[in-house]
Amino acid sequence: MSRRRRAHAPKGALASVAGGAVTSERLALAAQREGRAGSPMVRSLLAQSLPCEADLARVYSTAGGIPRLDASFLTLASGAVRWLDAQLLRTLRCVPIAIMEDLCVLAVSEHNALEAVRAVRAALKRDILPVLADSQAMQSVLQHMGAPPRAVSGGGVRRKTSPVQADFQRFVLGGESLDPLPLPPSVGR
């Protein structure tokens, strides 16, 4: 979107986009999960002109659709194999290029873009920016993707306990009884 078009965009529409572009489908699904699908507030919002996914898709298609990425940028994001299942990425034929705090740039092919975006978004709990990439280049990256690092088996971490912690473990957790302290003869009379 050019600066001129962005300057004339209504502020309310920009706020809706900045808020995550919640569609009527997303609102209905979230309300259903929380058991609030029949609430008057949700019904009122769904009855208004809240955009649906098809409306947003039409806007994106007029702006050029999904951006295309050159194959030279197609490298697996660091940490991707720790956060995402390698088999999932291979099945969906998608490559996470960059994983940021609240956003993931995901290379997809056009025929499975929707399924890949939904699955990776559900797995990462982040918004997804899909980009089109060459299928052969993505396949090459997916073939060379390594396995996630494995945990080292060696038992628990050894820790030196403090005297207070040792007493707590012995008396409270261990159930050892305490001897009463003798009272001086002047106390208690």
pLDDT by residue for the chain (189 residues), tens only, comes to: 444 445 555 777 777 777 677 788 888 888 888 888 888 888 888 888 788 888 888 887 887 778 888 888 888 888 788 888 888 899 999 999 988 888 889 999 988 888 999 999 989 888 888 999 998 999 988 888 776 666 555 555 566 677 888 887 777 777 777 777 777 777 655
How much is the pLDDT for 154? 57
DSSP codes, 36-80: -TT-HHHHHHHHTTPPPHHHHHHHHHHTTSSPB--GGG--PPTTH
How much is the pLDDT for 2? 47
The CATH number of the domain covering residues in 66-148: 3.30.300.160
What is the C-alpha separation between 115 and 96, in angstroms, rounded? 14
How much is the pLDDT for 59? 82
Question: What's this model's pTM, rounded to 2 decimal places?
Answer: 0.61
How much is the pLDDT for 45? 86
| Amino acid identity for residue 86 in this structure | A
Task: Return the closest-CA partner of residue 77 out of 133, 19, 142, 24.
Answer: 142
DSSP codes, 85-148: -HHHHHHHT-EEEEE-SSEEEEEE-GGGHHHHHHHHHHHHTSEEEEEE--HHHHHHHHHTPPPP
- Where do the domains of the chain lie? 13-65, 66-148
Condensed to tens digits (0 to 9), the pLDDT of residues 61-90 reads 887 778 888 888 888 888 788 888 888 899
How much is the pLDDT for 92? 92
How much is the pLDDT for 108? 92
